[in-house]
A and B are shown apart, each in its own frame.
Chain A
Amino acid sequence: MRSKRFIFLTFTSCLIALVLVSIIAFVVGSSSVGIADIWTLISGGELRASAYSILVNVRLPRILAALLAGAALAAAGAIIQAVLDNPLASPNIIGINSGAGLFVLLAASLFPGLLWLGPVAAFAGAMVTALLIFAISVGTNASRLTVVLAGIAITAIFGAGMNTILIINPDAYIGSSTFLVGGLGKVMLSDIVWPSAYIIAGLVLAVLASGKLNIMALGDQTAHSLGMHVSRTRLLMLALAAMLAGAAVSFAGLLGFAGLIVPHLMRFAIGHNNRLVVPLSALGGAIFVLLCDTCARVFFAPYEIPVGIVMAFIGGPFFIYLILRSRRKA
């Protein structure tokens, strides 16, 4: 067990990093806005109209979206990895993200007028996929590898579905190419109101329930003998992860690797106690996605690449490293 001091320090440094990255994200960008402008805004002073508009209408929604999506996906990843007892699982690997994405595109294509339908559809798609994975992993008593392989197959099927929709109806979703890799370039404050409510509620529930994940790590039979309803708990935790991931996908698109990498990084830092891993992953995910998104805005200015691409460049190699590492252990 890590000492209380170490845990405290880790959390504190994550919080400080979160604040620093947020400030950087507010300040850097193609339009020049300085720290002085932020301070003026916070302290309620008079601000140039252009600076105000950039900070509040352009950067604030985007920063909030990055923080929420990162926290949601990383917490969902931590939960899914624990529930399926599988270090290679995450919302995008097992198909939850693409399930949400498919439903979003379906909704946008069938009911183009109903803008509120997006988050609901994302949630429903994520949930359906989670149930599918649950059925595969529990119903067939499948091995860890089978679940990942089934997830990859589901991802491929849903990906094909999304591409079919976009070929038949290219106008179904504005900025669909960004949606498919995950991007925050067009997020508006109104897009994240409802999802943020889901995400905050989901994060609170996830932190409260995280102790149960430790009991699950002992194996089904032991968890049962300790008085846990194992199948019910597993299903509820998967539903919670699906809610978090679905809400994130509804405005950020199919953001990939945050859900996979961040929980692993946190376990390197703080061990396997899920009571710490889940909240810390949420913090770390928020930092990671915001950092990647800021890079995505700045590195190729005046062009901008979707954050999903930046994350894939970082996440892909890391995933390969993970596979190599778990192979060597086995």
Chain B
Amino acid sequence: MSTNSSFTKDHTITDAATKKDEADTGKDAITLTNIHFSYDKNPFIQGLSASFKSGAVTSIVGPNGCGKSTLVKIIDAILRPQKGEAQICGTPTLTMRMRERASKLAILVQAGHPPAMTVQELVSCGRFPYQQHHGGFTEEDKRLIQLAMQETGVKCFANKDVRQLSGGERQRAFLAMTLAQDTDIIVLDEPTTYLDIHACHDIMQLVRELNKNMNKTFVMVIHDLDLALRYSDEILVMQAGRAIFAGDTKSKQALQALEQAFSSHIAIAQTEFGAVHAIFPRGKQ
């Protein structure tokens, strides 16, 4: 069993710790200031402020309906908050031009129905923000498309239809598209939903690699607490439209906030393969 590479390395705990020192923590990639948002009359997000560090992998976690995906849409200027503002590298998102924003921030949205394209065609879509009105691809475009496919390991099925790929391969192809977008920041909205457990770790390890090798800042909305705690440097815990904790994943307060948000106990078990987090709902057992 110990030869199974995906699980033997405890990727995060060692890696994330060293990463933290290297990371350019001086500036914030995304800043949210006093965000208020509601879909109808009931307030949904109330006075949320948070910032995501440049060069780090940050997870946004919280129970269903706490406003995680809404927050992503506010960052991407799909939704306009009633109060407050989101900034990307110091510029308010709502004042940016569409393509300018798309050249700074890429978003991988929750898996919808896969497009009828080949992997290479899909990855090429990532160059859209830089293309002239209808033009073809420049040498630079082509280089970045190839690089993105290489870094995510999808080059071998460049000519395969996206619909024929497995869930994990497909997610890698989509990640390649966001890489081709050549932004400093990549936001992933539930990147591991519908994936089997091996593919989940596979994608998370890819995220760590891209963070390290290509110096990408990652912000991800994620449901699996064990994945979030293992693979991210920072964590933002949301509950009912508020941020109840933001900071170091390894801190005691992070665990406490998670326990509160999910009304559960979180146990950390040291195994021969590394540390895992087990969640026990409170009031049961």
Q: Is A136 engaged at the interface, CB distance under 8 Å to the other chain?
A: no
- Distance to closest chain B CB from A111 (angstroms): 39
Which residues of chain B are near A225, meaning CB under 8 Å?
76, 102, 105-107, 109
- Complex Cα distance, B133 from A227, in Å, reads 12
Per-residue A-contact encoding for B104-118, CB less than 8 Å = 1, 0 else: 011101001001111
Q: Which of A217, A226, A273 contacts B128 (CB 8 A)?
A: A226
Per-residue B-contact encoding for A9-49, CB less than 8 Å = 1, 0 else: 00000000000000000000000000000000000000000
Q: How many residues of B contact A (CB 8 A)?
A: 30
Q: How many residues of A contact B (CB 8 A)?
A: 21
- Complex Cα distance, B109 from A79, in Å, reads 25
Q: Is A218 engaged at the interface, CB distance under 8 Å to the other chain?
A: yes
Closest to A205 in B: B134
Q: Is the CB of B129 within 8 A of A227?
A: yes
Closest to B119 in A: A1
Given the interface contacts A219-B109, A221-B78, A221-B109, does A229 sit within 8 Å of B117 by beta carbon? no
Q: Is the CB of B109 within 8 A of A271?
A: no
Q: Is A53 engaged at the interface, CB distance under 8 Å to the other chain?
A: no
Q: Is A138 engaged at the interface, CB distance under 8 Å to the other chain?
A: no
Q: Is A55 engaged at the interface, CB distance under 8 Å to the other chain?
A: no
- Complex Cα distance, B135 from A210, in Å, reads 11
Q: Is the CB of A208 within 8 A of B98?
A: no
- Complex Cα distance, B112 from A263, in Å, reads 24
Which residues of chain B are near A117, meaning CB under 8 Å?
none
Q: Is A312 engaged at the interface, CB distance under 8 Å to the other chain?
A: no
Which residues of chain B are near A217, meaning CB under 8 Å?
115-117
Q: Is the CB of A273 within 8 A of B117?
A: yes
- Distance to closest chain A CB from B248 (angstroms): 29
Closest to B106 in A: A225
- Complex Cα distance, B97 from A261, in Å, reads 39
Closest to A267 in B: B116
Q: Is the CB of B107 within 8 A of A222?
A: yes
Per-residue A-contact encoding for B87-126, CB less than 8 Å = 1, 0 else: 0000000000011111101110100100111101110011
Which residues of chain B are near A219, meaning CB under 8 Å?
109, 112
Which residues of chain B are near A210, meaning CB under 8 Å?
134
Q: Is the CB of B116 within 8 A of A1?
A: no
- Complex Cα distance, B118 from A1, in Å, reads 6
Given the interface contacts A221-B107, A271-B116, does A226 sit within 8 Å of B125 by beta carbon? yes
* Interface of chain A residues 218 through 246 with chain B (CB within 8 A): 218-219, 221-222, 224-229
Which residues of chain B are near A227, meaning CB under 8 Å?
98-103, 128-129
Q: Is the CB of B128 within 8 A of A1?
A: no
Which residues of chain A are near B128, meaning CB under 8 Å?
215, 226-228
- Complex Cα distance, B165 from A126, in Å, reads 40
Closest to B181 in A: A226
Q: Is the CB of B134 within 8 A of A208?
A: yes
Q: Which of A218, A221, A224 contacts B125 (CB 8 A)?
A: A218
- Complex Cα distance, B129 from A215, in Å, reads 11
Closest to B189 in A: A221
Interface-centre pick from B100, B101, B109, B129 (highest chain A CB count, 10 A): B109
- Complex Cα distance, B122 from A222, in Å, reads 12
Q: Is B64 engaged at the interface, CB distance under 8 Å to the other chain?
A: no
Q: Is the CB of A1 within 8 A of B120?
A: yes
Q: Is B150 engaged at the interface, CB distance under 8 Å to the other chain?
A: no
Q: Is B6 engaged at the interface, CB distance under 8 Å to the other chain?
A: no
* Interface of chain A residues 186 through 214 with chain B (CB within 8 A): 208-211, 214
Q: Is B159 engaged at the interface, CB distance under 8 Å to the other chain?
A: yes
Q: Is the CB of B102 within 8 A of A226?
A: yes
Closest to B75 in A: A225
Closest to A1 in B: B118
Closest to B98 in A: A227
Q: Is the CB of A226 within 8 A of B126?
A: yes
- Complex Cα distance, B115 from A232, in Å, reads 21
- Complex Cα distance, B109 from A229, in Å, reads 17
Q: Is the CB of A215 within 8 A of B125?
A: yes
Interface-centre pick from B106, B118, B134 (highest chain A CB count, 10 A): B134
- Complex Cα distance, B107 from A3, in Å, reads 30
Q: Which of B117, B121, B129 contacts A226 (CB 8 A)?
A: B129
Q: Is the CB of B134 within 8 A of A224?
A: no
Q: Which 9 pairs across A and B sit closest by C-beta, in order of nearness?
A: A227-B102, A272-B116, A225-B107, A227-B99, A227-B129, A227-B98, A208-B134, A226-B128, A221-B109
A-B pairs with beta carbons under 8 Å apart, 8 shown: A210-B134, A215-B125, A217-B116, A225-B76, A226-B125, A227-B102, A228-B98, A271-B116
Chain B contact residues, CB within 8 Å of chain A: 73, 76, 78, 98-103, 105-107, 109, 112, 115-118, 120-122, 125-126, 128-129, 131, 133-134, 159, 181
Supplied contacts A227-B98, A227-B129, 16 more A-B pairs, CB within 8 Å:
A208-B133, A209-B134, A211-B131, A211-B134, A214-B125, A215-B125, A218-B122, A218-B125, A219-B109, A225-B102, A225-B107, A226-B129, A226-B181, A227-B99, A227-B101, A227-B102
